[in-house]
C-alpha cells in the first residue's frame, strides 16, 4: 500500500515509530533500524507493507520503498512540506480512520509543490481543509463580537476573522481575504500577505 509519513519519533536505540496516512487509515507503525533499510523521514511518500504478528500493540513497518518527487531534493521546499505534514499529523492524530480527503489533499499538493512558492501551496491546501471541515468563515462578521467587518480584517488561528480592535492578529484587506476564501487561491495576494498567513498557519490547524 501507499501513504505519506506524517510523523516519526524515536523509540528504543535507533528504532522509530512512524505515523503514516493512507487513503483510508492513519497507521502507527514500529520501524526497526537497519543499515540496509531506507531512512524513514516525515513528509515522504512510501510504498510499504505491514507485519501484524510483530507485537500485539504496534504493527511493524516493512519493505519500505520511497516514492519520491524531484522537489524533495530542494531543502527549502522540503522543510515547508514537512512543517505542513507535521501540522496535519497534530490535527488528525486522534482519528484512526480519516476521510480520504486528507490523503487526496497531500496527493494533489505533492504533485504541484514545485510550481509556486510552497508557502502559497500550503495556505491554499489549508484553506481547502477548512472549507471541507466547515470551519472557513467568510470575513463578513467578527467572530468575537459578531459585528460587520469593513475594509480591514484581522485573522487569528484557524483564519478566524475579527475586527482589528477585537482580537490581536495580522491585518489584511478584507477583499483580499474574501477572494482567498472564495477561490481557494493565493494568486491575487502579495508575498508579504503570504508570510503572515503562513505564520498564522504554524500556530496549528
From the CB of residue 86, how many other CB atoms can be counted at a distance below 10 Å? Answer: 15
Return the C-alpha cell found at 173. 484587506
Per residue in 120-151, pLDDT (tens digit) is 999 999 999 999 999 999 999 999 999 999 99
Residue ranges of domains in the chain, CATH in brackets: 2-70 (2.40.50.140), 116-201 (no CATH)
Segment (H or E) for 82:
helix 75-92
Measured N-to-C along each axis, helices 118-132 and 75-92 cross at an angle, to the nearest 10 degrees, of: 20
Using one digit for the tens of pLDDT, what is the confidence trace for 81-126? 999 999 999 999 988 889 999 999 999 999 999 999 999 999 999 9
Amino acid at each position: 500500500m501507499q501513504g505519506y509519513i506524517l510523523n516519526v519519533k524515536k523509540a528504543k536505540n535507533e528504532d522509530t515509530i512512524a505515523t503514516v496516512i493512507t487513503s483510508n487509515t492513519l497507521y502507527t507503525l514500529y520501524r526497526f533500524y537497519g543499515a540496509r533499510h531506507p531512512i524513514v523521514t516525515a513528509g515522504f511518500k512510501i510504498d510499504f507493507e505491514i507485519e501484524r504478528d510483530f507485537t500485539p500493540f504496534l504493527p511493524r513497518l516493512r519493505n519500505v520503498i520511497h516514492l519520491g518527487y524531484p522537489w524533495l531534493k530542494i531543502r527549502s521546499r522540503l522543510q515547508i512540506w514537512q512543517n505542513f505534514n507535521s501540522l496535519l499529523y497534530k490535527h488528525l492524530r486522534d482519528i484512526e480512520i480519516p476521510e480520504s480527503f486528507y490523503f487526496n489533499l497531500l496527493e494533489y499538493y505533492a504533485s504541484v509543490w514545485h510550481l509556486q512558492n510552497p508557502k502559497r501551496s500550503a495556505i491554499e491546501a489549508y484553506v481547502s481543509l477548512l472549507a471541507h471541515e466547515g470551519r472557513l468563515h467568510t470575513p463578513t462578521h467578527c467572530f468575537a463580537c459578531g459585528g460587520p467587518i469593513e475594509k480591514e480584517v484581522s485573522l487569528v488561528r484557524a483564519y478566524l476573522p475579527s475586527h482589528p480592535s477585537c482580537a490581536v492578529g495580522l491585518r489584511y484587506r478584507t477583499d483580499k481575504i474574501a477572494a482567498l476564501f472564495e477561490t481557494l487561491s493565493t494568486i491575487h495576494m502579495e508575498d508579504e500577505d503570504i508570510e503572515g498567513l503562513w505564520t498564522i498557519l504554524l500556530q496549528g490547524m
